Amino acid sequence: MAAPTEKEPASGSESDLTDEVRRTAEELKNQANSYFKDKGYEKAIEFYSRAIDLNPYNAAYYGNRSIAYLRTECFGYALSDASKALEVDSSYVKGYYRRASANMAIGKFKIALKDFETVVKVRPNDKDAKAKFTECNKIVKRQAFERAIRVDDVKKCVSESINLESMDIEDDYSGPALEDGKVTVKFMEELMEWFKAQKKLHRKYAYKILLDVKEIFEQQPSLVDIKISDGSKFTVCGDIHGQYYDLMNIFRLNGNPSKENPYLFNGDFVDRGSFSVECILVLFGWKLLIPDSFFMSRGNHETETMNQMYGFEGEVKTKYSAQMAELFTEVYNLLPLTHCINSKILCMHGGLFSRDDVTLEEIKKIDRNRQPPDSGVMCELLWSDPQILPGRAPSKRGVAIQFGPDVTQRFLELNNLDYIIRSHEVKPLGYEEAHNGKCITVFSAPNYCDQMGNKGAFITLNPPDLSPKFTTYECVPHPNVKPMAYANSLLASFM
């Protein structure tokens, strides 16, 4: 998505415009509102932008475009528009709400709290504003407390405190069971059907899967090399985001994972969709069963802050426990950041870098066992996005960067690669080929959040020909549990 642009007025006000211009701008705004109501956010942004071009003095136009950007996860653009609305009219209270929402979406709670505080001061009797201020303040205080109890960055290891022997399997449990503590094909087949029926895996088995998969991931480098033999097939999937029934549809269309049918899932397995626990346990189960034929990259949503806001932490606590949510965080910290296929295709969740000299060897040596920093190579691997124009630009998300075709070309040449595969962005067809085919996006969650109307896609590679082949598909029905059902109530009220 292109950055928002509008003509900056040297001075003046809306009263300086002709009545005809103001009427036309208002008509464009009304059309944009209609698109927004029908969840056509891209078209809404287009029409809000046209209204702003005609009348850049109306704070509501920026405010409306800001929330449209929020819905398309362009949090950086949403921040910019909210701030612009407040420049135009400092009394425009919705601008503070919008800016707070965008900052919360990228985990900047202390900054968001300042805007909520402003709203409360301006509207002391606004119950909704008070509730949002109180909730945001709780998050800030909780984070401060968590930082205070950490000593010299020594991490409390939840995995070491778990006693599987103390967990009994109740007589009335009739679900899938590990065999001698091991995942089997039979277990995986039963598990997938069990989850389809909205039943819960016994906590002892869930903990066992997490502890065992943690051991596998901690032995891997941050960049994993994958070798595919000629005549075989390899599948790359993008974001799943807790859409379990669509994940099952991928396996129906493309076959269950096996040594003969290997997969790479390229991050963002959880959050937003309300069947995230089912998705991640199935994916981890396949990793345990065929560790050399099933691969998983970390996404920007395999992080503590995102999980607290977008639903995964709440879902784990509801279905299991707070202790298990902490264990998931430990496992996510160990997920590899990138995979390189046949030394020619580099796969990462987000994208490329603010520096031109990043090498595969540097990526391989990243100390990833932590929450991602706010900048640098690790952050950019998880958060960056491609852009049409050459060069680099600030991120539309407010985190990492946007990178142009020239940046991609230089990176490929430096590292002797053919192209990159990344995910991270909704695409109408489920995929997009950009930068002269050198930067490919794949997104595997169709009708994202039950509202975007996009198709899902996956990529198949058949060596020695490493050109991507795309399979697209529509969403499938799922039980009546809405996306974001477990999300933080403060964020859900904005989104």
pLDDT tens-digit profile of 359-385? Answer: 999 999 999 999 999 999 999 999 999
**pLDDT higher than threshold 80 for residue 399:** yes
Residues 6+ apart with CB under 8 A from 256: 188, 189
Average pLDDT of the residues in 409-429? 98
Residues 372 and 445 placed together within one structural domain of the fold: yes
Least confident piece of the model among 2-11, 105-114, 276-285: 2-11
Name the catalytic one among 202, 301, 349, 435: 301
- Give residue 255's domain range: 166-494
pLDDT for the residue numbered 148 = 74
Tokens of 357: 């000299």
Least confident piece of the model among 131-135, 227-231, 412-416: 131-135
Residues 6+ apart with CB under 8 A from 255: 261
User: Contact 333/369 with Cβ under 8 angstroms?
Assistant: yes
Tally of domains within the chain: 2
Residues 139 and 182 placed together within one structural domain of the fold: no
User: What are 254-286's pLDDT values in tens digits?
Assistant: 999 999 999 999 999 999 999 999 999 999 999
Residues 238 and 283 placed together within one structural domain of the fold: yes
pLDDT for the residue numbered 86 = 96
pLDDT for the residue numbered 321 = 97
The CATH number given to whatever domain includes residue 84 is 1.25.40.10
Mean residue pLDDT of the chain comes to: 94
User: Contact 95/63 with Cβ under 8 angstroms?
Assistant: yes
Does residue 276 belong to any structural domain of this protein?
yes
Q: Is 137 helix (H, G, I), strand (E, B) or coil?
A: helix
Tokens of 180: 């001698």
For helices 19-37 and 41-54, angle between their N-to-C axes, nearest 10 degrees: 170
Is 202 one of the catalytic residues? Answer: no
Residues 215 and 287 placed together within one structural domain of the fold: yes
Using CA atoms, how far apart are residues 276 and 449, in angstroms rounded to an integer? 12
Does residue 430 belong to any structural domain of this protein?
yes
Output phi, psi for 21, to 5 deg.
-65, -45
User: What are 326-358's pLDDT values in tens digits?
Assistant: 999 999 999 999 999 999 999 999 999 999 999
**pLDDT higher than threshold 80 for residue 9:** no
Residues 138 and 264 placed together within one structural domain of the fold: no
Residues 237 and 122 placed together within one structural domain of the fold: no
Q: Which of 121, 148, 175 is the last residue of a domain?
A: 148
Q: How many helices (H) and strands (E) does the chain have?
A: 18, 14
Residues 137 and 237 placed together within one structural domain of the fold: no
Q: Which of 98, 117, 148 is the last residue of a domain?
A: 148
Does residue 5 belong to any structural domain of this protein?
no
pLDDT band at 10 (very low <50, low <70, confident <90, very high): very low
Bigger pLDDT: 486 vs 5: 486
Does residue 281 belong to any structural domain of this protein?
yes
The CATH number given to whatever domain includes residue 339 is 3.60.21.10
Quickly list DSSP for 401-461: EEE-HHHHHHHHHHHT-SEEEE--S--TTSEEEETTTTEEEEB--TTGGGTS-PPEEEEEE
Residue located via tokens 């090498």 = 359
Using CA atoms, how far apart are residues 261 and 248, in angstroms rounded to an integer? 15
**pLDDT higher than threshold 80 for residue 11:** no
Give the number of other CB atoms < 10 A from CB of residue 150. 10
